[in-house]
Structure formats: C-alpha cells, structure tokens
Amino acid sequence: MRSLFALLLLGFISSPLQDHSGMIKIPAGELRPFLLLAGQNGRIKVHSFYLDIHAVTNDEFLQFVKANPRWKRSGVSRAFADSNYLKQWAGDIEIGDDRIRNSPVTNISWFAANAYCKWKGKRLPTMDEWEYAAGAPPVNAKRGRDLSRIILEWYDHPNPAVLPVVGSTYKNRFGVYDMHGLIWEWVEDFNSVMPGSENRGPGGNPFVCGAGALGTANKEDYAAYMRYAFRESLQAAYTVGGLGFRCAQDIE
C-alpha cells in the first residue's frame, strides 16, 4: 500500500482530479418516470451531480482526438464508430469549417462520447439525470414559449446545414443551455427503458413500436415518447448528424 501511495505522489500513476470548470451543480430532486413499472411509486429520486453547461463542441472534441489518436476518423475501429463518424470535419485533425468550431460535435458514437468524458475525468449522464436536468423550465426564452412548445417546434423542423453554436437556444432554471432545441444527446444507459430492451445497456435493441406507449406515465407527452423511442433505435457505434453529448460528474 505504501509503495502504491509513493507512486501516486511521484506521478507514475495518473489519478484524474475533478475539474468542475464549465459545469454546474444540479440539485437533488425527483423525476417522474417515462414508464411506470411494477412496484414504482411514480417518482424517481435523482441525487445531486455536476453537468456540463453546454454540449461538447467540435473544437473541444478536436483536442481530445489530438491527445488520443486512436479516435481519429481514419483510425477508429468500426466496432466503435460507424462510417459517418466525424464526417462533418475536413480531416482527421482538421475541422475545416470555422462556423462549426463552437457548435456541438455530432456524428459521434456512444463509445467516442464515453471515451471523451473519461478523458476529462467525467462520465456521461444517466438517462434519469439528463431527463431531470432537461425538464427544468427555460429562463431566457421568448415570452409564451414554454418548454413543451420549444421542444415540439424543434421536432417540427429539420436540422440546419450548419448547426448554431452552443448557448444559442435557451438557458434553463438549473443554468444549463440547449437541453432541447439544438441536438439530441447521448446518455450512459440510452437503451435500457423501453419494453424488450432487457436493460442490456449499449448494444442493439429493437426499434420501439407504438405499443410501447401503453405503459407510459403521461400518454400526452409526445415529445418524451419521441426522445425515448429515438434512444431505443440506437446502437452504441451509431453516429447521427444531430446527435452529440455533454458530460456529467459525481459529487464528491
């Protein structure tokens, strides 16, 4: 034990320190589950955690790729990212279009997002954490545009050819930006909720059919059903033009 401690002091073994810059502390609270499973009382407790204020940008992900060459576009294994991985970039370590440097990085697989978060000493948020943080009402949206309207208006329009920069939609009551209205976001346990998933985690579960809505807590929450159905259609190596991520961190 003493020799291990000495190695840590000398820096031979890296032990990531928590860095909360660019993050905000989300207070503990309760979340209404999307599905009411047997034995649930209708509420899920969410412990306090840190969350990135905005999604990871192309420029931020570029720094990760430079430090971790195995995640270059030309070198990544197809087991960890499909052929559309980072296709919006001009090259392995070249974004090319300066307009997207501060836009959310997309065409990122779950494996790549998870690796980035670990590199930063963080992790992907769980689905419950993400849904809880994303459910906070907006504080800087235009008058009359509540959260439901923001989400449904976003769903109603295709993604623009050039994604806006982070922080361009709205800030919510917790102080985080763009939880809806800019991109979809990976979560740690993205396909572990809907019937048939068997809680297998990142793998390959069948696409959700309409019958999956029968057990939902709020059958009128069309936006939530679309979100959960989209997650269940994913596999961990998939990359999508409107899908990015942000990181979370435990409270010590």
Provide the residue count of the chain. Answer: 252
141: helix, strand or coil? coil
Report the range of poorest mean pLDDT among 13-22, 53-62, 151-160, 187-196.
13-22
Helices then strands, each counted (H, E), the chain = 6, 7
Beta strand residue intervals within the chain, DSSP E: 23-26, 29-31, 44-46, 49-52, 184-185, 243-244, 248-250
Each residue of 219-228: pLDDT tens digit?
A: 445 677 788 8
Q: Provide the 10 A C-beta neighbour count for residue 154.
A: 15
- Give helix 58-67 / helix 110-119 axis angle, nearest 10°: 80
Burial of 165 (0-12, 13-18, 19+ CB in 10 A): middle
Largest CA distance in the chain: 62
Q: How far is CA 204 from CA 109, 125, 186, 199, 237, in A?
A: 13, 20, 15, 11, 10
Structural domains for the chain: 16-250 (3.90.1580)
Burial of 27 (0-12, 13-18, 19+ CB in 10 A): exposed
- Alpha helices (H) in 94-170, listed in sequence order: 110-119, 127-134, 147-155
Of residues 215, 209, 213, the one with CA closest to residue 233:
209
C-alpha to C-alpha distance for 91 and 128, rounded to whole angstroms? 36
**Mean pLDDT value of segment 190-216:** 50
Of residues 169, 192, 172, the one with CA closest to residue 182:
169
C-alpha to C-alpha distance for 208 and 97, rounded to whole angstroms? 36
Q: What is the pLDDT of residue 209?
A: 45
Each residue of 83-113: pLDDT tens digit?
A: 999 999 999 999 999 999 999 999 999 999 9
pLDDT top residue among 228 and 164:
164
pLDDT top residue among 137 and 203:
137
17 pLDDT above the threshold of 60: no
Of residues 159, 170, 136, the one with CA closest to residue 88:
159
Q: What is the pLDDT of residue 73?
A: 96
CA atoms within 13 A on the CB side of 14: 6
